[in-house]
Structure 1
Amino acid sequence: MIYIVCFLISCSFFWLSEKCKSKSARNSFAIIAILIPCLLAGLRADTIGTDVKVYVEPMYNAAKESHSLSSYMNQRWLVIWRYMYVKDFEIGFSLMIFLIQKLGGSFAMVLFFIQLLIVTPIYIGLRKIYKLYPVYIGLRKIRKPYPVCFSMFVFYCMFYNTSLNMMRQWIAMAILFMAFSYLIARDKKKYCILTLGACLFHTSAIMGIAILLVYIYCTKKREYIKVAIFKLNEAMAPIKIFIYGCGILLSLNIITVVLEHIGLSKYIGYIQGDNGLYLLPNQILLRLPIIILFVVRWKKILKEDKLAPFYGSMLVLDLLTSQLMSINAYAFRIGSFFSEYNILSYSALVYVGNRKFKAKRYMTLLYVITYMVYYWVFYYVIMGTHATFPYVFA
C-alpha cells in the first residue's frame, strides 16, 4: 500500500499548495509534494522497474569504473544475448548518470533524480497550462479551471508505476508535457526547443512534432457565418483524426521507410512483425469506461474547454496506437505520448459543467477515480506490468 499512501500524501500537499495565498508557503508545500514520489522512486530496490537492471544500473556501474567521459561512453555490458554500450543511449541521459556518480551520488540518488526530472516538469506544465488556458462558463473566465492536485493524482494512478520502468521515455514525455504549455502560450519556438531537449533523453520525443500538428489542427480558427457550423467543425476534429489515424495504420510500410531515412530505424520493430496488424478488443475494453464518459459529456466539455477537440484527438490516437500491440507488445510506448494528456482531459471530464451541481460532480469524480483505481490494480498489481509491484526497498 506504500504507493497509495504516497500518492494521497503527495496530492494532499499539492492541495495545500493551491489553497495557500503566501507564495513561499505555496512553493514549500509543492516541493514537499514533489519530493514524496521522488523519494519513493529513489529508495526502491533495483528489481522495481524492468529497465533498472537493463541499463540504469549497468550505466551507473560503468560510470563508477570509468576515469573519463570517453571511457565511460565505450563501456559495455551483456543483456540476454547482445552487448549494450553507453554510447548507444541518448547523450542527455548518459551524461546525467555520469555526473551524478562523479559528484558522489549513490545509485539511489540516480533513481531519485530520474523521477525528479519526470514529476517536476509535469507539475510545472500543469501550473502554467491552468494559468494560461482559462475555461469559459458563458463569457466568464475561470482562471484556475481544474485542481492541480487532481491532475497529479491522475498521473500517479495511470502513469507513475510506468515511469519507474520507462525512465528515459518518461523524462522526454514530461519535458514534452511542460513544452505543451508553450503551445498554449503561442510560443511554438520554445516548444520546438524543448522538444529537441527531450530528444536528448529519448529520441522518440520526435513525436512532439505529431503532437504539435494535432494541436494546430484542433485549435486553428475557422471562420464560419453560423456559430453552429463552427461548433460542429470543432466536434468533428477527433472523428477526422480517427479517420486519418486509420489511414496511417494501413500505411505502416510507408512509415517504416520514413523511419529508416530519418535515422530512427530502431523503432521499426514496434510497427513491423510477423503477426501483422489485427484488432485487440481488450485494449478497447480497457479504455471503454472513459470513452463512454467522453461521449456523454462531450457537448459540455466542448462548450467550456477550448482544448476539448485536442483531448478527444489524443484519446482517439491512444486507442488506435494501442492496436499496434498486436504487432509488438512494446508498441504501447508509442501510445504513451498521446495518453499522457489524460492528465488534463480527466480533469475536464470531472469538473466541466459540474461546478454548480456538487452531487453531479461528486458522482463523476467517483466514477473517474473508481476507473483509475481499477486500472492501477488491474494493470500494475494483477498483471504485474512494468514489474513495480510489490514495492521493495533497496
Structure 2
Amino acid sequence: MSIYISVFLSSTVFLYAGEKIKDKKLNRFLIVIGLLIPSIIAACRADSVGTDVLVYGKAFYTQAVSSSSFITYVISKVDSMFSDFGFYFLTYILSRFFKDYHIGFFVYAILVQVFFYIAFKRCKKLFNTPVWIAMLLINLFLYNISLNLMRQCIAVPIAFLAWTYLADGKIKQYILFTIIAVVFHSSALITVLILPMYLLLRAGRNKQPVVKIMQGILFCSLVFVILYFGSSLIQLLVARGIIRQNYLSYLANGRYSTSSAIDIYTVLQYLIYIILGVFTFKCLKNRKVEPTFLIMCVGCILLSKFGTTFNTYVSRVGYNFYPYMALLLANIDNCFTKQSKKIYRIVILAVVGYFWYQAFVLRGYNATVPYYFFWN
C-alpha cells in the first residue's frame, strides 16, 4: 500500500511544482517526472499485480513477440468491428522493438498519464481547473484499476480528451479522438451517450436549473435502463459482428457472470461527491464549469454501481465517467477562499483516500495490493 501512496504524493508534488515554476524548461522537466513516476511503477510490477495481467496483459504481448506477422497476430485477436484494434496494433509495434512485456506495461501507463494530463490542461484553459488536483484525484480513482484494465483505461482519457474539444466547440477534434478511443477499447462507445447528455445539460441550454436537473435524472435513468436490459443489446451487437464475442462471457450463465450486492460505502462515496456539487452549484455555474452535466456524470457512476446487483462487471461502464468526477471535485477547489482551499483539499483528499483504501486495500479490488516488483 505504501508504494501507491508514495507514487500519488511524489507525482503530485512534481506536477504541482511544474505548474507553479515559470521557467519553461524546468517546468517541462518536472511535469515529465511527475508523469513518469506512476508509469515506471506500473512497468515494474510483477505479473501477479492486476487481475487481468495474466489473462491478456502479459499473454497478448508475448503472443505478439512470437507472431510471424502483424496479420497473423491480429487475425488471432480481432473477431468483430470493434475489437480493440488500436491496443493490438500498439502491442505488436512495441513487440518488434522490445521483447520484454514490461515495456508494454510502461507504454500503456504513460499513455494514460499523458492523455489525462493533456485533457486536464485543456480544462485549465476552459474552466481554470487546478491540474495537479485533478491528476491526484484521477490517480486515486483509476490508477489501481489501470493496472488491471489496461485496454479500457487507455481509452478512458482519450475519450475524456475528446469531450474537452466538444466543450470548446471543436467538433472535428472531438470526433477524431472519440474514434481513437473506441479503436483502443469498445467500451468507449459509451461516449455516444455522453454527447447528447452534454448537449442537453450544458450551460446556457436552459436557464431553469430545475428543468436541467429533471433532464439529467431522466437521462441517468435511461443509462440505467440500458445497463439493465443490456444483455439483449450485447447479444445483438455480437451477432452482428460489431463487438467482441468475449462480451458474452459477462452475461447470464457466461464465464464471468457474477453479481454482488451494492454496499453502503459505495453509495456514500458518490452521494458525498454529488452533495458537494450541489452545494457549490451556483459558484460552478458562475465559473461556467458545466455543474449539471458533471453532477449527472457522478450520478451515472452511482447507477453503474447498482448494476452490480445483476452483473458485477456492469460497474466497468462507470469508469468512463470517472474523469468528469475528478473534474467536478477539482473545480470545486476554486469555489473557496485561499484559507478555505486548504481545508477543502485536506477534507477531499481524506475522503477520496479513505474510499481508495476501502476499495483496493481492504477489499482487494483489481488485485493490486500488495504490490510486488517483477524482480522479487
Query: What is the TM-score of this pair, normalised by structure 1?
Result: 0.84
Gaps of 5+ in 2: none
* Partner Cα separation in structure 2 for residue 386 and residue 206 of structure 1: 23
Amino acid at match of 1:6: V
Amino acid at match of 2:136: F
* Partner Cα separation in structure 2 for residue 130 and residue 393 of structure 1: 35
Per-residue deviation, 1:62: 1.1
CA shift digits 1:88-130 (9 cap, x unpaired): 5521111111111111342111100000111100000111121
- For residue 343 of structure 1, the aligned residue among 320, 323, 326 is 326
The answer on whether the counterparts of 2:165 and 2:171 sit within 8 Å (CA) in structure 1 is yes
The answer on whether the counterparts of 2:261 and 2:308 sit within 8 Å (CA) in structure 1 is no
Matching residue of 1:86 = 77
Is residue 296 from structure 1 mapped to residue 282 from structure 2 by the alignment?
no
Per-residue deviation, 1:298: 2.6
CA RMSD, Structure 1 to Structure 2 (Å): 2.6
Aligned length: 362
Amino acid at match of 1:128: R
* Partner Cα separation in structure 1 for residue 177 and residue 146 of structure 2: 20
Equivalent residue runs for 1:23-172 within 5 Å: 23-74=24-75, 85-88=76-79, 89-131=83-125, 133-134=126-127, 145-172=128-155
The worse-fitting range, judged by mean Cα deviation, of 251-260 and 377-386 is: 251-260
* Partner Cα separation in structure 2 for residue 13 and residue 209 of structure 1: 35
Matching residue of 1:15 = 16
Matching residue of 1:361 = 341
> For the structure 1 residues 37 and 235, does the alpha-carbon distance in structure 2 shift closer, same or farther, using more than 3 Å as the test?
farther
Matching residue of 2:351 = 371
Per-residue deviation, 1:273: 7.7
Per-residue deviation, 1:278: 10
Amino acid at match of 1:123: Y
The worse-fitting range, judged by mean Cα deviation, of 314-323 and 88-97 is: 88-97
Query: What is the TM-score of this pair, normalised by structure 2?
Result: 0.88
The answer on whether the counterparts of 1:157 and 1:373 sit within 8 Å (CA) in structure 2 is yes
* Partner Cα separation in structure 1 for residue 100 and residue 52 of structure 2: 18
> For the structure 1 residues 128 and 99, does the alpha-carbon distance in structure 2 shift closer, same or farther, using more than 3 Å as the test?
same
Per-residue deviation, 1:244: 3.1
> For the structure 1 residues 112 and 279, does the alpha-carbon distance in structure 2 shift closer, same or farther, using more than 3 Å as the test?
closer
Is residue 186 from structure 1 mapped to residue 169 from structure 2 by the alignment?
yes
Aligned-pair identity (%)? 27
CA shift digits 1:243-289 (9 cap, x unpaired): 23324534667655544256347547767689999983533223232
Amino acid at match of 2:316: R
Per-residue deviation, 1:161: 0.5
Amino acid at match of 2:49: I
The answer on whether the counterparts of 2:295 and 2:325 sit within 8 Å (CA) in structure 1 is no
Amino acid at match of 2:13: S
Gaps of 5+ in 1: 75-84, 135-144, 224-229
* Partner Cα separation in structure 1 for residue 227 and residue 330 of structure 2: 34
Per-residue deviation, 1:15: 1.0
- For residue 213 of structure 1, the aligned residue among 196, 199, 204 is 196
- For residue 329 of structure 1, the aligned residue among 286, 294, 312 is 312
Per-residue deviation, 1:329: 0.7
Greater relative contact order structure (CA < 8 Å, 6+ sep): 2
The answer on whether the counterparts of 2:146 and 2:153 sit within 8 Å (CA) in structure 1 is yes
Per-residue deviation, 1:200: 1.4
The answer on whether the counterparts of 1:92 and 1:201 sit within 8 Å (CA) in structure 2 is yes
* Partner Cα separation in structure 1 for residue 17 and residue 280 of structure 2: 29
Amino acid at match of 1:243: L
* Partner Cα separation in structure 2 for residue 271 and residue 361 of structure 1: 45
> For the structure 1 residues 269 and 341, does the alpha-carbon distance in structure 2 shift closer, same or farther, using more than 3 Å as the test?
farther
> For the structure 1 residues 190 and 363, does the alpha-carbon distance in structure 2 shift closer, same or farther, using more than 3 Å as the test?
same
* Partner Cα separation in structure 2 for residue 248 and residue 177 of structure 1: 18
* Partner Cα separation in structure 2 for residue 307 and residue 210 of structure 1: 17
> For the structure 1 residues 253 and 348, does the alpha-carbon distance in structure 2 shift closer, same or farther, using more than 3 Å as the test?
closer
Matching residue of 2:363 = 383
Per-residue deviation, 1:54: 0.2
